[in-house]
Amino acid sequence: MTDNESETLFLTSEQINGLASPADYVAAVRDGYRQIGEGAPASPRQKFNRTDPDGMFTSYAALLPDTGAMGGYMYSSGFGAGNAWFMTPLFDAESGEPLAVLDGASMNPFKTGAAGAVAVDELARDDATTLAVIGSGSQARGQLHTTATVRDLDDIRIFSSTRANREAFADEFDDQLSADVHAVDSSTAALDGAEIVITATRASEPVFDGDDLEPGTHVTAMGQYEEGNRELDTETIERATYVPDLRERATYDAGAFLAALEEGAITEGHVHADLGEVVAGEASGRTSDDEITVFDSGGTGIETVAAAHMLYERALEEEIGSTISFAPASEALTGRLP
């Protein structure tokens, strides 16, 4: 290692697991969205697909000046390995030097869940205590862990298509949370009286009937991040104050919004604001108890950079991780062969 090389922290998924609480993720991500609302840059995901073998490669990025960090997320899924791999590079926003490289697998549900929790805190009624969760995978777990930090929940209903999965999920969280967490047999039963609804699926068709939404409900949908993925029906989008994580995502890859747009039920102006604008106070959140609100979460570099930097600082404090070296381009780009 030369004097000018950068010592960059490397954190494994196992080292990240348990390094921060759900509330820590929510606090970091909330501040990240505030910065975006005040003008910091972020971009929607870029996706590349191939066949034979089927696979997807995707990436997205953000720069958070007050945090002092920039970076994003890159991951592959499928291909010959039939699995997914998550990599998070983190850079210093002033010097540009690489700060850390994180295996992002274990942080993924929590940083995405934190974005949903921030939206719940901004858009759901303050007195909301009843939650419906549709989905029982890792993303649903992250959403529930984080949402439970921003509202005093007492009744949580779980529905997914496989009975064993929804019952196991409900039993797991019933032991962890003070709320009554129980599985139900349909999305209609889950929504009955629910004040907050979270959908965490990979559905291509709506997972509930928009007519079942009661006035005053908030919906967080996080599984419709490409055209053709559609957790919410047109009725829901049309009735709601619609808030995506990034404004430009609505017409780029937000499946339910694009479907409603194609059906002529809404126009592009139906986007009320993005979450950063609401958090920063540049746009209103909920304005009445009867208002239906929707947060459309497709995943961004905002929560990724905010969470990664928080984990990086925790790791430094606890002296966790190993280091790798990067040579500055001024020295490495010599064109000399070894």
CATH number of the domain bearing residue 174: 3.40.50.720
In a domain, 337, yes or no: no
- Pair 262, 234: CB distance under 8 Å: no
Residues 131 and 224 in one domain: yes
CA distance 278 to 65: 19
Residues 143 and 87 in one domain: no
DSSP string, 217-247: -EEEE-S--STT--SS-HHHHHHSEEEESSG
CA distance 160 to 36: 34
Segment 82-121, tens digit of pLDDT: 888 999 999 999 999 999 999 999 999 999 999 999 999 9
Average pLDDT over all residues of the chain: 94
- Within the chain, where are the H helices? 13-16, 22-37, 108-123, 138-147, 163-176, 187-191, 234-239, 255-262, 275-279, 301-318, 329-332
Helix 22-37 / helix 108-123 crossing angle, nearest 10 deg: 60
Residues 101 and 55 in one domain: yes
In a domain, 114, yes or no: no
Q: Which domain holds residue 269?
A: 125-296
* pLDDT of 2 strictly over 70: no
Residues 103 and 168 in one domain: no
In a domain, 27, yes or no: yes
Paired with 103 in beta bridges are 87
Q: What is the CATH number of the domain that holds 41?
A: 3.30.1780.10
Residues 93 and 232 in one domain: no
In a domain, 276, yes or no: yes
Residue spans of beta strands (DSSP E) within 168-217: 180-183, 196-199
Lowest-confidence region among 137-141, 206-210, 227-231: 227-231
* pLDDT of 336 strictly over 80: no
pTM: 0.95
- Pair 317, 265: CB distance under 8 Å: no
Residues 211 and 270 in one domain: yes
